[in-house]
């Protein structure tokens, strides 16, 4: 079991080198003693001699050899001999530093990742989330369909639970975090808010913003308030039944035909029940300005999102009197189709001059711009998306102002 230098190998660099190589092998093999390890000879200088002693053979092995293979079962037997310490390989290694079953750890980690991914898929399986949820989850996967190593499981679980409760109507980030996962700080830092913003970017068909203003705007598309004073909606002739201070301001502005900016903070101070039976929603502030210049008091009520619908927009529209008809339009671009689709799903909105005929009427390649972002469909008028794809041009809402004003008188 040993040579005449057996006792002398304890604590040597040679034996330490073999133990280090053996540790790597067994930790990657479910802590099983089996198979061979490749030993690179020459450093330490007497390593070849120790390998010969363990293998009990000098055949084919000499001081000039560069590598050899050592049977771990033989090494285990050699270590267990009383002259060599009396402990087998696993006990010898464990006595120095506890062994890690890396195969088991990896399997457990993979199981946890698979569970988190399955939970996310279940939470977002509702058809109201659309295909963006599938595209978001797919973006997090390796080629083999497993969750990528850069995605923390806890972050994914938090992000999925947050996305499952969106959209909301004016909740702050802390309120949203408490609602979704019971932790007000869950969206204050770390990977979860980044994952949610990635998902919202896919939903909106826009690149994920890096600047604070863009990030705030993206949160607001889901009705989340990052700043209750900056989040706003502009209205024209928006009369309400209430006579509290904000209601008075709205009614006085409506009587004078003055566009009125409502902040999320104002909307949250009391109910604002609309008196109009129809609400026209536009995207661009130029439509409101034109309507204020040319129409008379008592004509249509207008709500302007001024771009992507903010938390203030969603908060206001969530309080509409039952039975109110909402007519909705956006720019003729892919983002505009996304927003119109969501307005139809969320508010039962009716498209307002968001059809192929209106698009083709307004189309002028000399004064339009190329379509950008991810193409989408227009289920309310499939021909619209087809026409836009064929022309490859976007048409801003301002081009249609003369036609829109005729609807507002």
pLDDT tens figures, 3-58: 444 457 888 899 999 999 999 998 888 889 988 998 888 778 888 888 888 887 65
Mean pLDDT of the 260-265 span: 94
Q: What is the pLDDT of residue 228?
A: 76
Q: Give the tens place of pLDDT for each residue, 127-167.
A: 455 678 888 988 888 887 777 777 888 999 999 999 999 98
DSSP annotation of 320 reads P
User: Residue 244: which pLDDT band, with cuts at 50, 70 and 90?
Assistant: very high
Q: What is the pLDDT of residue 67?
A: 85
pLDDT for residue 126 is more than 50? yes
Q: Give the tens place of pLDDT for each residue, 168-186.
A: 888 889 999 999 999 999 9
Flag the least confident range among 86-100, 260-274, 275-289.
86-100
Flag the least confident range among 53-67, 112-126, 380-394.
53-67
Mean pLDDT of the 49-73 span: 77
Flag the least confident range among 98-112, 257-271, 394-408.
98-112
Residue 65 has, within 13 A of its CA and on its CB side, a CA count of 19
What is the CB neighbour count within 10 angstroms for residue 221? Answer: 25
User: Residue 343: which pLDDT band, with cuts at 50, 70 and 90?
Assistant: very high
| All residues at 6 or more sequence positions from 211 whose CB lies less than 8 Å from its CB, including other chains | none
pLDDT for residue 107 is more than 60? yes
Q: What is the pLDDT of residue 242?
A: 95
pLDDT for residue 60 is more than 60? no
Residue 146 has, within 13 A of its CA and on its CB side, a CA count of 10
CATH of domain 232-408: 3.40.1360.10
Mean pLDDT of the 213-232 span: 86
**Residues, the chain:** 409
Cis ω before 44 (30° cut-off from 0):
yes
DSSP annotation of 188 reads T
User: Residue 227: which pLDDT band, with cuts at 50, 70 and 90?
Assistant: confident
CATH 3.40.1360.10 residue spans of the chain = 232-408
Q: What is the pLDDT of residue 297?
A: 44
- Give the predicted TM-score (pTM) of the model: 0.63
Q: What angle do CA 227, 232, 236 make, to 5 degrees?
A: 170
pLDDT for residue 404 is more than 50? yes
* Helical ranges in 245-333 per DSSP H: 245-256, 264-267, 285-294, 311-318
Phi and psi torsions of 378, nearest 5°: -130, 80
Please give the structure tokens belonging to residue 401.
Answer: 């102002």
Please give the structure tokens belonging to residue 43.
Answer: 């450093």
28 vs 321, higher pLDDT: 321
pLDDT for residue 309 is more than 60? yes
pLDDT for residue 296 is more than 70? no
Mean pLDDT of the 266-284 span: 95
Mean pLDDT of the 260-285 span: 95
Phi and psi torsions of 225, nearest 5°: -95, 115
The residue with tokens 């003693």 is 33
* Helical ranges in 56-130 per DSSP H: 72-80, 89-96, 102-123
Q: What is the pLDDT of residue 96?
A: 87
């Amino acid at each position: 079991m040993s040579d005449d230098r057996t006792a002398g190998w304890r604590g040597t660099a040679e034996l330490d080198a073999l133990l280090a190589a053996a540790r790597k092998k067994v930790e990657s093999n479910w802590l099983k003693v089996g198979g061979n390890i490749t030993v690179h000879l020459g450093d330490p200088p007497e390593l070849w001699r120790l390998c010969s002693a363990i293998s009990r053979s000098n055949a084919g092995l000499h001081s000039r050899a560069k590598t050899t293979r050592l049977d771990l079962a033989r090494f285990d037997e050699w270590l267990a001999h009383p002259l060599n310490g009396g402990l087998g390989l696993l006990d010898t290694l464990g006595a120095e530093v506890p062994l890690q079953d890396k195969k088991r750890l990896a399997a457990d980690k993979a199981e946890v990742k698979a569970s988190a991914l399955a939970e996310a898929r279940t939470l977002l399986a509702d058809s109201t989330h659309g295909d963006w949820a599938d595209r978001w989850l797919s973006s997090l996967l390796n080629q083999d369909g497993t969750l990528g190593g850069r995605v923390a499981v806890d972050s994914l679980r938090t992000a999925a639970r947050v996305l499952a409760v969106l959209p909301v109507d004016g909740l702050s980030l802390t309120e949203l975090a408490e609602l979704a996962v019971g932790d007000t700080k869950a969206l204050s830092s770390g990977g979860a808010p980044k994952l949610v913003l990635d998902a919202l970017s896919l939903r909106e068909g826009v690149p994920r913003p890096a600047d604070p203003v863009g990030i705030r705007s993206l949160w607001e598309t889901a009705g989340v308030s990052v700043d209750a004073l900056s989040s706003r909606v502009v209205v024209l002739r928006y009369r309400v039944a209430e006579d509290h201070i904000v209601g008075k301001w709205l009614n006085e502005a409506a009587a004078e035909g003055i566009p009125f900016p409502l902040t999320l903070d104002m909307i949250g101070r009391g109910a604002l029940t609309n008196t109009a039976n129809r609400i026209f929603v536009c995207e661009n502030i130029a439509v409101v300005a034109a309507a204020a210049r040319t129409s008379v008091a008592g004509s249509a009520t207008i709500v302007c999102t001024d771009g992507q619908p903010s938390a203030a927009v969603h908060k206001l529209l969530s309080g509409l009197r039952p039975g109110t008809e909402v007519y909705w339009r956006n720019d003729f671009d892919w983002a505009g189709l996304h927003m119109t689709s969501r307005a139809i799903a969320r508010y039962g909105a009716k498209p307002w001059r968001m059809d192929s005929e209106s698009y083709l009427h307004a189309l002028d390649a000399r004064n339009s711009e190329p379509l950008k972002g991810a193409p989408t469909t227009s289920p309310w008028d499939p021909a619209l998306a087809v026409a836009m794809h064929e022309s490859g041009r976007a048409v801003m809402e301002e081009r249609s102002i003369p036609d829109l004003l005729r609807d507002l008188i």
